[in-house]
A and B are shown apart, each in its own frame.
Chain A
Amino acid sequence: MSMDTEVNKKVIVFQLQDEEYAVPVEQVSFIERMEPITRVPRVASFVKGVINLRGVVTPVIDLRNRFNMTETEHTEATRIIIIQLEEMEVGLIVDAANDVIDIPVQSIEQAPEVVGAASVDYIEGVAKLEERLLLLLDIQKVLTPEDLEEIKKAEG
């Protein structure tokens, strides 16, 4: 990549607690308001259930739960971001989603090694923009955590 051409990455920015996260706009097919969710029994706790997305039954997961944050009541601002990943379509429940921005690729850095005590593999990188810090998500890893297999085994 040459240095003098500005390469931008278009992302959807959403909020969780007081942090801002970003996913590539190509992976997002819709952003929906909260809808009635039908619980699916005996699945991983972050899988909240399924919704009727214009005739397609779509699973939704609660990102707060997935990221080990405390779950809160859903508000007017709560959104479901519908992600399309290969053949999979999954909804992510987030606190708010209201921004589409271009971030220069140069401003993306590798995720710092120490984010908490445990390392998280689903943060692909960190983008620093003037006043903001965006955490770029690796959706694939968000959807299929490595320990999911173990969860399934424990439940099965």
Chain B
Amino acid sequence: MDTSQYLDVFIEESADHLEVLYKQLLELEKHPEEKEIIEEIFRAAHTLKGMAATMGYTDLADVTHYLENVFDSIRYDKIKVQPSMVDVLFETVDYLNEIVEDISSGGEGKRDVTAILDKIAALDSNSGPASDEGSEQTENVSIDTSDELKHVEEVDEFELTILKESMERGFNNYEIHIELSKECLLKGARVFMVFEVLEQFGEVIKSEPTVNELEEEQFDNSFTVLYVSKQSKEEIEQKINKVSEITKVEVTPFSVTEYTAKKNEAEDAAIEKAAQAKQEKDTPKATPAKKSVTRKTIRVNIERLDILMNLFEELVIDRGRLETISAELDHTDLKETVERMTRVSGDLQNIILNMRMVPIDQVFNRFPRMIRQLARDLDKNVDVEIIGADTELDRTVIDEIGDPLVHLIRNAMDHGIELPEERQKSGKAEQGTITLEAYHSGNYVMIEISDDGAGINKEKVLESAIEKGVVKKEEAELLQDQQIYELIMASGFSTSETVSDVSGRGVGLDVVKNTIETLGGNISIDASPGAGSTFSIQLPLTLSIISVLLVELEKEKYAIPLSSIIETAIIEKEEIYSAHHKKVIDFRGHVVPLVFLQKTFEVPETSTPSEEYISVVIVKKGDKLAGLVVDSFIGQQEVVLKSLGAYLTNTYAISGATILGDGEVALIIDSNALIK
């Protein structure tokens, strides 16, 4: 589990709990009999333990677990609070504090906890995990130690905690060893059936090999699981045996106490060895790091991936240069080598880009809280549904997409979802729903934000748009529904009659639209009156490396992203017509307006352009087309997208820049801005 995103929360909350512990311990010293204080401490320790175990800080979890046990015993009057005890408890909390501080300053939260554990354990005479109180039944069962039985080797602290707790609640813990028939062909399927049986009557805590490996049939003929259930040993055996092609089932009770004892023995030995070897006075991590054989992933710092990506970008630039040189030299061997290199680096590029993919959940996960808060502010009743949170896209896109989404959600909350009374009047459930959905579609990621609110009032939008001069009255009559909806994203438009705190603070949906288009995506709106509206965002999977067509305007070079190009054409000047004072061409039956880039970009004229032909790049935006007139085409190239820097924002029709093989900078044209 990737827990890094929760680290800040963890540190913050741990600090809070530690504070509670300190404070209540002080109180406890004064009033050793006060049950409320003891409860409070128990709760804080319990929560801290759970958090630490989830975050994988085993040492922290260990210590808090023992602390919790002590208070559990105090709670049930098994032991009494004595002054000497409080000292040890303070020491323990100091210890916890140290660990948390270590974590917050970037450490791994590892400490030699054996000494302190012994001290706490001594407090609680019943110790060894005190939670064993409800587990006599398990303790009494003798353990089958048949030699051929394979045991689960590594049980982590988190799993142990679950096992302990399940015992407390009267469940039985089992270690089940299952052997499949040697002739079994579909081992994965058999495993699946066994798991299905098990899952009906309890819970599988751990399996060895891991579930993934089992599914991929990466095991011999047997596997072992840790299982929690209320069923008896015989019943379980019977049920598993109903699955065919199983030769042997062995169910043995699993005792946490014995396991920890064994493990501690092994670890103690290891610690002693380590201590002898190192002779260190204070070994902050004397407990040897647990090896985990089954792990197949490693964590890599994002910064390193960024560096890798940067280096690869440099390589892409050089590759471009090499391609140019080999084209000029026309040397067969060189050409072949460069081609091969291009292919290999293409594969490399895919792999690197894939590594940088992160689930969109990172953006989505903050929305439910935000929506709840907004709903309260607006006196609305809103539920949120998230679909496809595991959809992955490039980190660069993730970083940029948060704000536009926040804006759209606020918009849906404010203008979309109606007040509960209104909803009731129109026969809807009082509670509105906002749905966030993400999914892959080809080379794009789609993100849809829909609400089941009032939809968009076409007439009001049109009225307002005409009034604000966003469209002319004559034009307005020709617009289709979707085009009308999209007016609300035109600059200078805001339908809300009253400017509320939530949305409509002058910066409106036009900003959202701009941001998304700068990212190389686009946004469309669909709505039906009374039933709600949907904003669909289409985004490219990555923003770092894109394919472009390089074109020349006089002496300047520009790049047009291939994603927006339909085709290129060379057209006779006679084929240019005038319509409404605009130059247009007839392109495959469509009337396509021309954009003379030289004029748009105010390129200084150097030569006299009086050829009979013009070069046109046909680009699209939604279903609208435009022809960009350029001087000449240079060719297609993979380039690294770079930003113009924080200083130059809002450049007209330029979405970024790239560095060409010769080291010069070429600007990337944002053709969306050129299509009206």
A interface residues with partner B (beta carbon < 8 Å): 36, 38-43, 47, 50-52, 55-59, 86-90, 143, 152, 155-156
Closest to B314 in A: A55
CB pair B667 A40 closer than 8 Å: yes
**CA distance in complex: A99, B638 (Å):** 42
Known: A50-B665, A152-B650. A90 touches B659 (CB 8 A): no
Instruction: Please tell me if the beta carbons of A38 and B602 are within 8 angstroms of each other in the complex.
Output: no
A52 touching B663, Cβ below 8 Å: yes
B642:A40 contact, CB within 8 angstroms: no
The distance in angstroms between the C-alpha atoms of A59 and B666, with both chains bound, is: 13
List chain B residues, Cβ under 8 A from A55: 310, 313-314, 317, 659
A52 near B648 with CB under 8 A, answer no
Find A143's partner among B313, B647, B656, B665 (CB 8 Å cutoff). B647
A57 touches B645 (CB 8 A): yes
Would you call B648 and A38 a contact (CB within 8 A)?
no
A152-B663 Cα distance, complex, nearest whole Å: 30
- Binary interface profile of B, 634-669, with partner A (CB < 8 Å = 1, else 0)? 000000001111111011111011010001111100
Complex CA distance for A39 and B646, rounded to whole angstroms: 17
A57–B657 touching, CB < 8 Å: yes
B603: interface (CB < 8 Å): yes
- Contact (Cβ within 8 A) B645 A36: no
Residue total for B at the interface (Cβ-Cβ under 8 A): 29
Contacts of A40 in B (CB 8 A): 644, 648, 651, 654, 667
Interface residues of B in 600-620 (CB under 8 A from A): 600-603
Nearest first, the 6 closest Cβ-Cβ pairs linking A and B are A41-B601, A38-B665, A42-B652, A88-B646, A57-B657, A57-B642
Answer whether residue B272 sits at the interface, using C-beta atoms and an 8 A cutoff.
no
B600 proximity list for chain A (CB < 8 A): 41
- From known contacts A38-B556, A42-B651, infer whether A51 and B665 are also in contact, taking CB-CB under 8 Å: yes
For the complex with contacts A43-B648, A51-B665, 9 further pairs of A-B residues with Cβ separation under 8 Å are A40-B667, A56-B642, A56-B645, A57-B642, A57-B645, A88-B646, A89-B647, A90-B647, A155-B652
- Contacts A55-B659, A57-B657, A156-B652 hold; do A38 and B667 have CB atoms under 8 A apart? yes
Shortest C-beta distance, B625 to chain A (Å), equals 23
Query: Inside 8 A of A156's CB, which chain B residues have their CB?
Result: 652
CB neighbours of A41 from chain B (8 A) = 600-603, 651-654, 667
- Cβ B665 vs Cβ A52 within 8 A: yes
A132 to B663, CA, bound (A): 40
B579 to chain A, nearest CB (A): 26
Contact sample, A vs B, 24 pairs, CB 8 Å cutoff: A36-B664, A38-B667, A40-B644, A40-B651, A40-B654, A41-B601, A41-B653, A41-B667, A42-B602, A50-B648, A50-B657, A55-B310, A55-B317, A55-B659, A57-B642, A57-B643, A57-B644, A57-B645, A57-B656, A58-B645, A89-B647, A90-B645, A152-B650, A155-B652
* Residue numbers in B under 8 Å from A38 (CB-CB): 556, 657, 664-667
Chain A residue nearest to B659 in the complex (CB):
A52
Asked if A59 meets B645 with Cβ closer than 8 Å, knowing A38-B667, A51-B665, A52-B665, the reply is yes
User: Which residue of A is nearest B603, CB measured?
Assistant: A41
Q: Name, among A41, A43, A51, A155, the residue most crowded by chain B CB atoms within 10 Å (CB to CB).
A: A41
Q: How far is the CA of A54 from the CA of B598 in the complex (A)?
A: 29
What 1/0 mask marks residues of chain B from 434 to 477 whose CB sits below 8 Å from any chain A CB?
00000000000000000000000000000000000000000000
Q: In the bound complex, what is the Cα–Cα distance between A142 and B262 (angstroms)?
A: 71
User: With A41-B601, A41-B603, A50-B644 as given contacts, are A57 and B651 in contact (CB-CB < 8 Å)?
Assistant: no
User: Which chain B residues border A50 with CB–CB below 8 Å?
Assistant: 644-645, 648, 657, 665, 667
Say how far A97's CB is from chain B's closest CB, in angstroms. 20
B residues in contact (CB < 8 Å) with A: 310, 313-314, 317, 556, 600-603, 642-648, 650-654, 656-657, 659, 663-667
Chain A residues, Cβ within 8 Å of B642: 56-57
Complexed CA–CA distance, A89 and B648 (Å): 10
- Residues from chain A with Cβ under 8 Å of B656 in the complex: 57
Residue of B nearest to A143 (CB): B647
A30 to chain B, nearest CB (A): 14
How many residue pairs at the A-B interface have CB separations less than 8 Å? Answer: 75
Which chain A positions have C-beta within 8 A of B601? 41-42
User: Closest residue of chain A to B648, judged by CB?
Assistant: A59
A88 to B665, CA, bound (A): 18
Residues of chain B within 8 A (CB-CB) of A42 are 601-602, 651-653
With a cutoff of 8 Å between Cβ atoms, the chain A residues found around residue B663 in the complex are 52
The answer on a CB contact under 8 Å between A57 and B652 is no
CB proximity of A149 to chain B, nearest CB, Å: 11
Q: Report the Cα distance A57→B511, complex, angstroms.
A: 24
- Across-interface contacts of A152 in B (CB, < 8 A): 650
Q: Cβ of B556 and Cβ of A59 under 8 Å apart?
A: no
User: Please, how many angstroms separate the alpha-carbon atoms of A36 and B556 in the complex?
Assistant: 12
Chain B positions within 8 Å of A86 at CB level: 646
CA distance A78 to B654 in the complex (A): 28
Q: Which residues of A contact B664 (CB under 8 A)?
A: 36, 38, 52
Residues from chain A with Cβ under 8 Å of B647 in the complex: 59, 88-90, 143
Residues in A neighbouring B667, C-beta threshold 8 A:
38, 40-41, 50
Task: Find the residue from A51, A57, A86 having the highest chain B CB count within 10 A.
Answer: A57
Cα(A39)–Cα(B648), bound, Å: 12
**Residues of the B chain whose Cβ atoms lie less than 8 Å from the Cβ of A52:** 659, 663-665
For A51, the chain B residues whose CB sits under 8 A away are 665
Distance in angstroms between the alpha carbons of A36 and B647 in the assembled complex: 19
CB distance from A120 to the nearest CB of B (A): 20
| A40-B651, A50-B657 as given contacts; A89 in contact with B645, CB under 8 Å | yes
With known contacts A52-B663, A55-B314, A152-B650, A39–B644 Cβ distance under 8 A: no
The complex places the Cα of A59 from the Cα of B601 at a distance, in Å, of 17
| Cα distance, A41 to B648, chains bound together (Å) | 11
**Least CB separation from A51: chain B residue:** B665
Q: CA A105 – CA B666 in complex, angstroms?
A: 44
Find chain B residues with CB under 8 A from A89 CB.
Answer: 645-647
In angstroms, Cα B645 to Cα A30, docked, is: 16
Assembled-state Cα–Cα distance A98/B649 (Å): 31
Nearest CB of B to A57, in Å: 5
CA A90 to CA B645, docked complex, whole Å: 8
Q: How far is the CA of A41 from the CA of B670 in the complex (A)?
A: 13
> Chain A contacts of B314 at CB under 8 A?
55
Q: In the complex, what residue of chain B is closest to A152 when comparing beta carbons?
A: B650
**CA of A52 to CA of B651, assembled, Å:** 18
**B165 CB, nearest partner CB in chain A, Å:** 49
Task: Give Cα A42 to B644, complex, Å.
Answer: 14
Task: Check A43–B556 contact: CB distance below 8 A.
Answer: no
Quick one: closest A residue to B665, CB to CB?
A: A38
B227 to A: closest C-beta gap in Å: 54
Name A144's closest neighbour in chain B (CB-CB).
Answer: B647
Name B601's closest neighbour in chain A (CB-CB): A41
CB distance from B216 to the nearest CB of A (A): 42
Min Cβ gap A155→B in Å is 8
Most chain-A Cβ atoms within 10 A of its Cβ — which of B643, B647, B648?
B647
Cα distance, A156 to B491, chains bound together (Å): 12
Q: Which residues in B have their C-beta under 8 angstroms from that of A56?
A: 642, 645
Tell me the bound Cα distance from A57 to B644 in angstroms. Answer: 6
Write out the residue numbers on chain A whose beta carbons fall within 8 Å of the beta carbon of B653. Answer: 41-42
